[in-house]
Structure formats: C-alpha cells, structure tokens
Amino acid sequence: MPDTTYAIAAVLVAAAVTWALRALPFAALAPLRASSTVQYLSTRMPAGIMIILVVYCLHDLPVTEVRAVAPLVALGVTVGLHLWRRNALLSILGGTTVHVLLTSTVFSA
C-alpha cells in the first residue's frame, strides 16, 4: 500500500495537469482570435475538411460493384438535403438513414 503522502501528491499532480490541459486552449485562443490567418482558415476549413472526409471514405469504394450504390446514393442524399435546407444535422441524419436502410435491406449480403 503506497504511503499516504505519496498518494496525496499523485492526486494533486494529476489534478494540476488536468486543470492545466483544460485551461490551455482558452488561454491560447485569446491571441489567435485577432489573427488574419485564423480568420481566413475559419471560413475555408469546414469545406476543406468535408472534402477530405468524403475522399477518405470513398477512396476504396469499388464503383464497378453493386455494393457501391448505397454509399453513393447516401452521399447524393446528404448533399441534396444540405443544398436544399442548409441544415447540417438534417443532412447528416438523412444521409446516414438512407445508407443504413440501403445496406441493411436492399444491398445486404
């Protein structure tokens, strides 16, 4: 059984590290808000990240096979819903629902 002083010190160090790690983003965020680079990235990054995610998710998709239809239809539904309603939650839920329905019923193995 560890010494009581050792246990208390370990808990205090863990608490201090946890507090510091949680406070650091807020301390670092204040000077970044005025940066023109950060403002530029904040307008361009969401679309860029979505493109990277789409490419990553679809790069191994065998487009010559029938099982490729479900993800492509779900992608189309997601993009269509987003262009129609401009609601990210609706787009994500709609595309996910279509993908799950197609893969579990129509294109199940």
Q: Determine if the pTM surpasses 0.95.
A: no
| Helix, strand, coil distribution of the chain in percent, nearest 5 | 85, 0, 15
Tell me: the pLDDT tens digits for 36-76? 888 898 888 888 898 999 999 999 999 888 889 999 999 99
Upper half-sphere CA count for residue 9 (Cβ side, 13 Å): 5
| pLDDT of 8 | 94
Q: What is the per-residue pLDDT for 89?
A: 93
pLDDT digits (tens, 9 = 90+) for 13-28: 999 999 999 999 888 8
- pLDDT of 93 higher than 90: yes
CB 70 within 8 A of CB 48: no
Q: How many other CB atoms are there within 10 angstroms of residue 107's CB atom?
A: 17
pLDDT of residue 15: 97
pLDDT at 44: 87
φ, ψ (nearest 5 deg) of residue 87: -130, 110
Q: What is the pLDDT of residue 33?
A: 82
